[in-house]
Structure 1
Amino acid sequence: MAGKFEIYTDKAGKHRFRLKAGNGEIIAVGEAYESEAGCRNGIASIKKNAPDAPIVNVGE
């Protein structure tokens, strides 16, 4: 099974997303959004802007 984005409402009533791997493990989480539309825009931004993002160590 391929990975998937899940949209949910947190305890504060904000919309959030998480990215789950094919095995069901959560591998990324998004910030809190006021609306579901904003949350969907956040997902679209990741899909568009980071398909080939480099990996950078900042703590060394």
Structure 2
Amino acid sequence: MDERYECKIISAGKPMFNLKAGSGQVIGTSQSYTSASASENIDASVESNAPSARVDDQTT
């Protein structure tokens, strides 16, 4: 994911991400996911829907 996406692990240990505008303001927030494999599906979905996007996985 590129710099517009901020991947996080929330307090319950679940992955989620924020989408940010060029100004850094959060303009969208994903749901929280239940597992690391679900988080990997997020990455795959973003890559297939935005093939030129750079991936920056900050959950590992």
The TM-score, its normalising length taken from structure 1, stands at 0.58
* Distance change (3 Å), C-alpha of 1:22 and 1:40: farther
Unaligned 5+ residue runs, structure 1? 50-60
Larger radius of gyration: 1
Correspondence for 1:52: none
TM-superposed deviation, 1:37 = 4.0
What's the RMSD between the two structures over aligned residues? Answer: 2.5
Aligned 8 A contact 1:18 1:29 in 2: yes
Q: How does 1:38-49 map to 2 (within 5 A)?
A: 38-42=38-42, 44-45=44-45, 48=49
Name the count of aligned residue pairs.
48
Higher RCO, 1 vs 2 (CA within 8 Å, ≥6 residues apart)? 2
Percent identity between matched residues is 33
